[in-house]
Chain A
Amino acid sequence: GAVVSQHPSWVICKSGTSVKIECRSLDFQATTMFWYRQFPKQSLMLMATSNEGSKATYEQGVEKDKFLINHASLTLSTLTVTSAHPEDSSFYICSARGGQGAYRSIGANVLTFGAGSRLTVL
């Protein structure tokens, strides 16, 4: 079945530094990837939609200069948290949807989720 890998699964950084999180589709080409943020014991909040080869579409209230998203290939999207602060500490989860070729394996409109990346900013 479809697999999405996130790396790193856990990262601790100092305030003011930047952190990059990778999201890879391992066995299918992901034309669209989504980045979510989840605070403890809360739901997933969609941050942005990432399309291969084009600029990401950010949800209202999400700072695009703070959370840089790059979808440079059909199997990789990255989220960079720039100048991280303690309030950026959260669980970040990516999901991916395949293109035409992946429909038979993952089904139309079905997202495959990564295991998440926990960011702690000291």
Chain B
Amino acid sequence: AQSVTQPDIHITVSEGASLELRCNYSYGATPYLFWYVQSPGQGLQLLLKYFSGDTLVQGIKGFEAEFKRSQSSFNLRKPSVHWSDAAEYFCAVGVATSYDKVIFGPGTSLSVIP
């Protein structure tokens, strides 16, 4: 069955420091992969997506992610974190059923120290 794991439940970084959020997936075929961000009490905003091609994907707000098939990973990175980046981050995999549903990981909560 398809699944997504995010090993880190909570991460705290200092403002200006670099960030890496880990994501591993389990899926039999080439996956569609996504990273979403959710601010408290809000819906989800798409940060970036991977469908095919270049394995290093650039997203909004200075985020990037790298797809590594050999490791079944899709880690999210940002070189310098801003206080406004504090939020919940979800990695997700698109399942190629007839409806292309999306399965979410458990999420990583990011806190930023000023």
C-alpha gap A115/B45 in the complex (Å): 9
- B60-114, CB < 8 A from A: 90, 94, 99-107, 109
Looking at the assembled complex, report how far the CB atom of B9 sits from the nearest CB atom of chain A, in whole angstroms.
9
A115 pairs with B104, CB closer than 8 A? no
Contact of A118 among B34, B41, B106 (CB under 8 A): B41
B43 pairs with A114, CB closer than 8 A? yes
C-alpha gap A54/B31 in the complex (Å): 27
Residue with the highest number of chain A CB atoms closer than 10 Å, among B32, B90, B100: B100
B104 pairs with A109, CB closer than 8 A? no
A57 pairs with B105, CB closer than 8 A? no
C-alpha gap A41/B32 in the complex (Å): 25
Stretch of A11-19, A44-52, A81-89 on the interface side = A44-52
B94 pairs with A49, CB closer than 8 A? no
Also in contact, A113 and B101, with CB within 8 A (given A42-B106, A42-B107): no
B41 pairs with A116, CB closer than 8 A? yes
- B14-34, CB < 8 A from A: 32, 34
B46 pairs with A43, CB closer than 8 A? no
Residues of B within 8 A of A (CB): 32, 34, 36, 41-46, 49, 51, 90, 94, 99-107, 109
Complex A-B: 18 CB contacts under 8 Å: A34-B101, A43-B90, A43-B107, A44-B104, A46-B101, A91-B41, A93-B44, A95-B102, A97-B100, A107-B49, A108-B51, A109-B94, A109-B100, A110-B49, A111-B102, A113-B36, A116-B41, A116-B42
